[in-house]
Amino acid sequence: MDSNQKQPAAALSQAPQMPVTLALPLKWMPPIIQHRIIEQALNHFFKPALEDHALDFLQDRIIDVHIKDAYIQFALRLHQNKLQVSDRNNKADLVLTTDVYTLLQLVSQQDDADGLFFSRRLDSQGDTELGLYIKNFLAALDPDETRALSIGMKLSQHLLRLIEFKRHKLTNVIS
């Protein structure tokens, strides 16, 4: 390829994928266990937002989430001011599809949802207004709000650095 030629859009939007050795245990884990872990984590991380009713926009709404490279799929809804995670739902109001790396970038606030959406690394299908509410909620997260959220964001940042280090190291070996 001529150095003056631009890379195809697909190459630009490509994110590092979760290593298969880490993804396979998730693939084999029964969905009910995955869902329970995710549900507990989300309710813990977003406890202040739930107490302040900042997630009321999710009431009577269903969001399907698919994290492709981690083999994680679930439906998320708000019921009696608690986030509930279950099997994906054909009647979802919004479907969000991404990969672990992109999700970590979003959670750690190293990239915003708009940029990830336009680079086609965060795919959103369905209710646009609900998608905007979620985007605005995530953008407004303050890591100082709770210790759990702060730790989650810092852990995400460290994982991103580790992935970038491994990716850089692998690129150097191949070159």
- Predicted confidence band of residue 111 (pLDDT cuts 50, 70, 90): confident
- Residue 5's pLDDT is 38
Q: Please say whether the beta carbons of 63 and 13 come within 8 A.
A: no
- Rounded CA gap, 16 and 167, in Å? 7
Residues ≥6 apart with Cβ < 8 Å to 30: none
What angle separates helix 31-45 from helix 147-174, to the nearest 10 degrees?
A: 120
pTM over 0.85: no
Query: What's the mean pLDDT in 2-13?
Result: 40
Q: Over pLDDT 70: what percentage of the chain?
A: 71
- Predicted confidence band of residue 1 (pLDDT cuts 50, 70, 90): very low
Coil, strand, or helix at residue 97? strand
Q: Please say whether the beta carbons of 65 and 99 come within 8 A.
A: no
Q: What is the CATH number of domain 17-174?
A: 3.30.1050.10
Is the pLDDT at 51 greater than 90, yes or no? yes
Is the pLDDT at 78 greater than 80, yes or no? yes
- Residue 166's pLDDT is 63
Is the pLDDT at 11 greater than 50, yes or no? no
